[in-house]
Structure 1
Amino acid sequence: MGLMMGSRPPHKAGIGGSVGVPTRWVSFLCIASFCLGVLVINRLWTSPDSFHMHNDVISVGNHLSRDIHPLLPCEKKGAFQAGDILSQVSQTHDVIMTLDKTISSLEMQLAGARAAKAENEEKSGNEQSSDRPKVFFVMGITTAFSSRKRRDSIRENWMPQGEDLKKLEKEKGIIIRFVIGHSASPGGILDRAIDAEDAQHKDFLRLNHVEGYHELSSKTQIYFSSAAAKWDADFYIKVDDDVHVNLGMVGSLLARHRSKPRVYIGCMKSGPVLAQKGVKYHEPEYWKFGEEGNKYFRHATGQIYAISKDLATYISVNR
């Protein structure tokens, strides 16, 4: 029979006699497959992008790190740079030491020029003044009003007296004097006692200075200034009145340094800090030096020392 126009052909039986899938389900399955494919593709594309982006960030960070902290060869070049630094430090130290010596020399020359100028002015003001006698050294023995027994002990043991003292000055150029100022009340009993002792022994150098325990530094400065103004000596020595001196040894020692400028010869000492109360030379402020039993830092002792003429002149001008 022929087919009528517009009519749908009859369904054919499938293999095994199964019936075909309806069109509605086919459309639904196609849409579901499309959506599932889109989800899978988005998942696969997102992970590689993140991975590549992370790698790009790391790469950029590495480049920045290299720019900020450039790599340096640390073997031979590093050792060479360290050697250069040490060499520059050594050269700088040498330059500083040279400048320090130059400044010190200029200061001493300036002090000498001032002293010479002051001396010339003094001489021009007094035409009858005689030149200072040239001597080897002047030894000033600092003493106090209450130290008569110490002075007598020195006179009996090592300090010449009378004509022997004058002979030592003329033949050896050695001047020895007890150094003392005056009391707070000039002309009092203490000053008169020193005047009587000086009239007997003629071995004092009187200073324009008020005696006092807390004025010892000032007394020493005035002594050097007064001695430098009175005698033109190669050396000026300061000695305490409880020190006994071997004049022969002192003379031999100073003679070896006679040609050297700006000389200081003295004793360096260090000892325990005495923290125990009641003992001699107790240090009330011992705690400043650390714990009990510590030692003083090494320093110049003031019991006996000698300075050259240049240093005495410097003290005289700048005190």
Structure 2
Amino acid sequence: MVSIYSPLQLNSENNNKRMRGKSVSGKVIFALCVACFLAGSLFTTQNRARPSDYAHHLIPGQREKLDAAKHECDHKHKLVQQNSRDIMGEVIKTHQAIQSLDKTVSTLEMELAAARTSKIVGQERALNQTSTLQRAFVVIGINTAFSSKKRRDSLRETWMLKGGKLMKVEKEKGAVIRFIIGHSATPGGVLDRAIDSEDAEHGDFLRLKHVEGYHELSTKTRLFFSTAVAIWDAEFYVKVDDDIHVNLGMLMSTLAKHRSKPRIYIGCMKSGPVLSQKGVKYYEPEYWKFGEEGNKYFRHATGQIYAISKDLATYISINSGILHRYANEDVSLGSWLIGLEVQHVDDHSMCCGTPPDCEFKAHAGNLCVASFDWQCSGICKSVERMRKVHDACGEGDGAIWDVQYD
């Protein structure tokens, strides 16, 4: 049977097929839903009634309660704001008080440190005034070693007094002269016994609590000043090497000119190169502390002979535990004093050359305090030449007895 369709029916059927063929995207449906939700929320918010909108519908009692609640909320809000401001103010005040307290504590710490140092120095001075310390004008420590007996003998036979004269100059002129030496690595061994025997003969040693060694000279120097200060109440303390020539009278006259200066450091001031090459003489392991390679040291007295006043020797004694020691002892001493209120006196009469230099000066009436050869850091072949230097440049055996301190 043949079915006959009208044009209208055919168009309707075609449209239904096309509709079924195109399904609506899920993203589009989701976007439409979100848009509808937002539109509804906006409409609801705009039309939501606020308390003020319907407050006029409340009965009188309810309106009064509402006003009271609103007033209480406003009051609490103001209190919270006021409390916040008060808390911030207290925080600021507390911070300022803490800063003020920090400054006060810092000031007290500095005053306490100063008072402690002053007390120690006062105790040292009080101790110096007791009979336990021997009064002296100068203590001269001659640095020596176990192997240097011939050097010591050459000094005893020339510029250094010995026997009864050594004790007499100490008593009458206040000049204490001692060889300074520590102990061997094996206490009581043959080296120590030899020094004990030599000291029993001459009585001119000061033994230090120190193990001898070339690389320990900085420690030995520090111990010398600490030990000497504990034994003698002197105005000056002098360190001398055992291979140079000294005119004792000239040395004491030079020191006497500086008696009124409390913190004085006297010697031939120099500023040698800082040697960074390992294995060379005077190599400085801490060369990097002095700046770039090729730099020089700060000014300090050459190590053959130098003098410091009592206050400086006391300072070294008190602070010996924290004084840094460099490889070279003259640099070490200079570093201990470089940051203090110290007067450096550069006296070139303490570093004259050997004859003919010191001889020409002696003939001109300018006697040298000390003479040595720079190339040897002392008198070259000092044992053989000390007598010759003494005869040419010496002040005479009676000069020391004519020294006047006032």
Q: What TM-score comes out, normalization by structure 1 length?
A: 0.56
User: Does the CA contact (< 8 Å) of 1:111 and 1:314 recur in 2?
Assistant: no
Q: 1:110 to 1:191 in 2, by over 3 A?
A: same
Q: Deviations over 1:165-186 (max 9, x none)?
A: 1111111110100000111111
Aligned equivalents of 1:106, 1:266: Cα separation in 2: 32
Q: Deviations over 1:124-167 (max 9, x none)?
A: xxxxxx43221110000111111112111211220011011111
Secondary structure, in 3 states, of the residue corresponding to 2:261? Answer: coil
Aligned equivalents of 1:282, 1:307: Cα separation in 2: 23
- Counterpart in the other structure of 1:112: 121
Residue 250 of structure 1: CA displacement? 0.8
Whether 1:239 aligns to 2:240 is: yes
Specify the code of the residue in structure 2 equivalent to 1:134. R
Q: Deviations over 1:182-234 (max 9, x none)?
A: 11111100001101111111100011111122221111111111111111110
Secondary structure, in 3 states, of the residue corresponding to 2:258? Answer: coil
- Counterpart in the other structure of 2:222: 221
Q: 1:105 to 1:141 in 2, by over 3 A?
A: farther
User: Does the CA contact (< 8 Å) of 1:111 and 1:318 recur in 2?
Assistant: no
User: Does the CA contact (< 8 Å) of 1:115 and 1:317 recur in 2?
Assistant: no
Aligned equivalents of 1:138, 1:251: Cα separation in 2: 11
Which consecutive unaligned segments of at least 5 residues does structure 1 have? 1-101, 124-129
Q: 1:106 to 1:242 in 2, by over 3 A?
A: farther
- Counterpart in the other structure of 1:202: 203
In the TM superposition, structure 1's runs of 4+ consecutive aligned residues that sit over 4 Å from their partners are: 104-108, 271-278, 282-285, 287-291
Counterparts of 1:141-160 in structure 2, within 5 Å, are 141-160=142-161
Residue 313 of structure 1: CA displacement? 1.4
- Counterpart in the other structure of 1:134: 135
Residue 267 of structure 1: CA displacement? 1.8
Aligned equivalents of 1:184, 1:222: Cα separation in 2: 17
- Counterpart in the other structure of 1:257: 258
Aligned equivalents of 2:116, 2:154: Cα separation in 1: 41
Specify the code of the residue in structure 2 equivalent to 1:210. V
Specify the code of the residue in structure 1 equivalent to 2:318. V
Q: Deviations over 1:225-252 (max 9, x none)?
A: 1111111110011111122211111111
Specify the code of the residue in structure 2 equivalent to 1:147. S
Decide which structure has the larger Cα Rg and report it: 1
Aligned equivalents of 1:282, 1:263: Cα separation in 2: 26
- Counterpart in the other structure of 1:299: 299
User: Does the CA contact (< 8 Å) of 1:144 and 1:211 recur in 2?
Assistant: yes
Residue 303 of structure 1: CA displacement? 2.0
- Counterpart in the other structure of 1:181: 182
User: Does the CA contact (< 8 Å) of 1:108 and 1:314 recur in 2?
Assistant: no
Q: 1:240 to 1:282 in 2, by over 3 A?
A: closer
Aligned equivalents of 2:267, 2:165: Cα separation in 1: 27
Specify the code of the residue in structure 2 equivalent to 1:299. R
Which consecutive unaligned segments of at least 5 residues does structure 2 have? 1-110, 321-406
Aligned equivalents of 1:225, 1:275: Cα separation in 2: 31
Q: 1:189 to 1:284 in 2, by over 3 A?
A: same
Aligned equivalents of 2:316, 2:189: Cα separation in 1: 31
Aligned equivalents of 1:185, 1:139: Cα separation in 2: 27
User: Does the CA contact (< 8 Å) of 2:274 and 2:284 recur in 1?
Assistant: no
Aligned equivalents of 2:284, 2:315: Cα separation in 1: 35
Specify the code of the residue in structure 2 equivalent to 1:222. L
Q: 1:161 to 1:107 in 2, by over 3 A?
A: same
Using the aligned pairs only, state the percent identity.
62
Q: What TM-score comes out, normalization by structure 2 length?
A: 0.45
Aligned equivalents of 1:108, 1:303: Cα separation in 2: 31
Aligned equivalents of 2:282, 2:189: Cα separation in 1: 33
Aligned equivalents of 1:137, 1:219: Cα separation in 2: 19
Q: 1:306 to 1:108 in 2, by over 3 A?
A: farther
Q: 1:281 to 1:314 in 2, by over 3 A?
A: same
* Bigger Cα displacement from structure 2, 268-277 vs 211-220: 268-277
Q: 1:248 to 1:277 in 2, by over 3 A?
A: same
Q: 1:235 to 1:208 in 2, by over 3 A?
A: same
Secondary structure, in 3 states, of the residue corresponding to 1:157? Answer: coil
Aligned equivalents of 1:108, 1:310: Cα separation in 2: 12
User: Does the CA contact (< 8 Å) of 1:180 and 1:211 recur in 2?
Assistant: yes
Specify the code of the residue in structure 1 equivalent to 2:124. A
Specify the code of the residue in structure 2 equivalent to 1:115. E
Task: Give the number of equivalent residue pairs.
Answer: 206
Secondary structure, in 3 states, of the residue corresponding to 2:246? Answer: coil
User: Does the CA contact (< 8 Å) of 2:274 and 2:295 recur in 1?
Assistant: yes
Residue 261 of structure 1: CA displacement? 0.7
Specify the code of the residue in structure 2 equivalent to 1:163. G
Residue 297 of structure 1: CA displacement? 3.7
Aligned equivalents of 1:142, 1:315: Cα separation in 2: 18
Q: 1:299 to 1:161 in 2, by over 3 A?
A: same
- Counterpart in the other structure of 1:312: 313
